[in-house]
Structure 1
């Protein structure tokens, strides 16, 4: 995965350094120092959040390519865990009271231990380091406690997510409940710019959509549900990606062995009627065909634990399509699970825009930091405000203003026709100029200029028609379209 450049972040770090040089120790200096420390590491922090049992930790493991996050019920699921690449496996416990981090043994093979020798209420988060090339240096993943896991942890869960630059929202059963969850995140995280600019949705349980049905039909149904969910969350998430997380974790974490591949090959060679009967449900898979399909019960249970019925059906189909060796089978299952698509979207929508996302989060924190300035520190605070205003006019930062507009629309304070709400969403979530204008990728420059010119005129009319309260947001949209238009001349 490509690494991002951080010119804007370096400018914010410079602001922090100048302010700290002029400040004495105190709350204002501490707040500015915290921002500088956060920017010291050039990585985008991506939180994985969602409700209890949404499949967050399984998704984290699939993204990491290694089983580092706990997927069972352990006390360490009550605290956030950050995952970073390092040449050795170790875990650091960070505390709420600011005492130095403590090192604790990782799980055997690396990852979050089942328990830590501290009360979870003392802990701010864990940092899990592992010898893992898949983590890379482009982003840091954060696994967060589930919403409603323990009611007292709701504020903790929100505080953890608030420290991230972007969010992957795990949704096992998409619908109004997930929209409400995201709006709840937004309400709690005012000032954090949570929107389609930095949120990806993931439909995590596509393997449960159609047991016993055609695999292509399951995929089509998953895509339809994901598209409907994204439509309900216009302005709140950039896109909803369907992923079979159990299958993704097994394939990407290389949990399948040669013995498993051999057993799956036997299944692929079995009589189709017998195989269909076996794959009707878990109980049938364990009892049907024991005398005609030579895969023992213990191996069948292992395959169920690793793949579930959906994954076994995908594996058999992949073998039928030519994935005969273990490496080819793993690659095929990664593609079929949807994890490859998610990794592509993570790169396109979040990592490629990491500089602006991280700079915006840091600038928001600095705006809050100036509230700690004493009377004697107002000169430094005023200079910092001026620098923040200046940097806020940088073209790359306008995306964050679009995020504010999307938040206002989602909250009902910016009334927009559906057509214009969709235009705002594509402008903010688009990666290329064609996507931002809602045109095909092969659109010509003349087509782009023509369409963007139409959008400028449309939003200028909308700007004049809206009440003053909403006009500020529509002005931003119109100005961004204008900037795109002039960039094409």
Structure 2
């Protein structure tokens, strides 16, 4: 994959350098310096958030390809954790007050320990370093806490997410609280930088969908549920991807050993009628007589703990389709879990757009920093405002305005035909100009110019047909298309 370029980020760094050269120490200079320090590291920060028991930390481990995030209800799941690559395993505790960070032992093998010698209310976040090639290559993962709020995006979680450039939102199987969670999520996103431009949704625990049905039926149902969720969250998330998180973690983190593969091979070779009798429920799987299927109870428990019944069914089916050795089985289970699709989406939608995402976060921070300027810093603040205003005209940096439009549409205050709602979504989620107007990447300049012109005309007509309040949002969309049009070669 081509390395990301950071032209917009470099322009923001130049603004910071110019301002810092003229500023004396103080709150304004500290805030600008913090932005410059953040941009000095050319790494996209992706937060993983979700409500309590959404399978969030299991998803983090699957993305990392290593079990570094704690799962279950331990005290360390109540604080956010940043995962970074290092030549040794270690954990640093950062505090809310002015205390310097403190190192504590990592879990055996690396990762967040089950407990720490500090109350979680004192702790700002943990920095977890591990010898992991996946960490820091293209992005840094942040595991945010899941608490009691329906959407889990409470004040503490949001404070953590605001330090990130993008969000992966873990959503469990929809149920009675789904509508309430959606309303809370929409309300939380209002006024934030979160939108389809930098948010991916993940439908976790898809193994619980269509229990007792065939594997293909489970995936069809998962795709339907993910599609419905994505439709209701148009403009709020770029895409909703189904992932069997437990299966993904086991396969990506190489928890399956040759012993497990051998036992799964025995299951795959068993009489199909006997096997079907074993797989509907855990008790049936554990109680089937060993003479019927020669896999002892201890190994069956291990397989359940690693794969659950859904994963065991997927593993048996993968072996039936030719995944005979351990590496092939792991690869097949990664693909079948949905984690490969998610990793690809992260690369295409987030990593490829890292420059704009990181610059957008930096610009928002600088706008807040300007408000800290004192009377003697008025000239520097004024100059910085002008530079930010000029840079803010770049289409890729008008995401906040597009997010406002998307949230207005979700709330019903910006009524849009489905065609125009889809155009807004495409504009927000596209990385290249061609993608933003719904064209393939190899579209010719003439095709790109023609399509952009059509969209300008269409949104002009829309502006004239809607209320004055809603028109402000439509005008933003039209102006972005116009900026794109006049910047085309």
What TM-score do the two structures reach when normalised by structure 1?
Answer: 0.94
Contact 2:52 2:152 in 1 (8 A): no
Contact 2:83 2:140 in 1 (8 A): yes
Q: CA deviation at 1:396?
A: 3.0
State how 1:120-269 maps to structure 2 within 5 Å.
120-148=120-148, 154-174=154-174, 175-187=178-190, 190=191, 192-269=192-269
Measured against aligned partners, the alpha-carbon deviations of 1:236-286 in whole angstroms (never above 9, x if no partner) come to 000000000000000000000000000000000000011011011111110
Q: CA deviation at 1:171?
A: 0.4
Q: CA deviation at 1:72?
A: 1.9
State how 1:442-481 maps to structure 2 within 5 Å.
450-481=450-481
State how 1:335-346 maps to structure 2 within 5 Å.
335-346=335-346
Contact 2:353 2:431 in 1 (8 A): no
**Residue in 2 that maps onto 1:426:** 426
Contact 1:2 1:138 in 2 (8 A): no
Cα gap change, 1:134 to 1:181, in 2 (>3 Å) = farther
Q: CA deviation at 1:197?
A: 0.3
Contact 1:3 1:137 in 2 (8 A): no
Cα gap change, 1:166 to 1:415, in 2 (>3 Å) = same
Separation in 2 of the partners of 1:96 and 1:392? 32
Contact 1:147 1:154 in 2 (8 A): yes
Cα gap change, 1:151 to 1:258, in 2 (>3 Å) = closer
**Partner-residue secondary structure (3-state), 1:426:** helix
Separation in 2 of the partners of 1:419 and 1:247? 37
**Partner-residue secondary structure (3-state), 2:92:** strand
**Residue in 2 that maps onto 1:68:** 68
Cα gap change, 1:94 to 1:287, in 2 (>3 Å) = same
State how 1:277-296 maps to structure 2 within 5 Å.
277-296=277-296
Give RMSD over aligned pairs. 2.3
Q: How many residues align?
A: 486
What TM-score do the two structures reach when normalised by structure 2?
Answer: 0.94
Which ranges in structure 1 are unaligned for 5 or more consecutive residues?
A: none
Q: Which moved more, 1:161-170 or 1:231-240?
A: 161-170
Q: CA deviation at 1:85?
A: 0.9
Cα gap change, 1:291 to 1:2, in 2 (>3 Å) = farther
Contact 1:84 1:127 in 2 (8 A): yes
Cα gap change, 1:483 to 1:389, in 2 (>3 Å) = closer
Which ranges in structure 2 are unaligned for 5 or more consecutive residues?
A: none
Q: CA deviation at 1:482?
A: 3.7
**Partner-residue secondary structure (3-state), 2:154:** helix
Q: CA deviation at 1:27?
A: 1.7
Measured against aligned partners, the alpha-carbon deviations of 1:70-120 in whole angstroms (never above 9, x if no partner) come to 002211111000001111111111111132211111111100011111121
Q: CA deviation at 1:333?
A: 0.3
Cα gap change, 1:31 to 1:447, in 2 (>3 Å) = closer
**Partner-residue secondary structure (3-state), 2:97:** coil
**Partner-residue secondary structure (3-state), 1:261:** helix
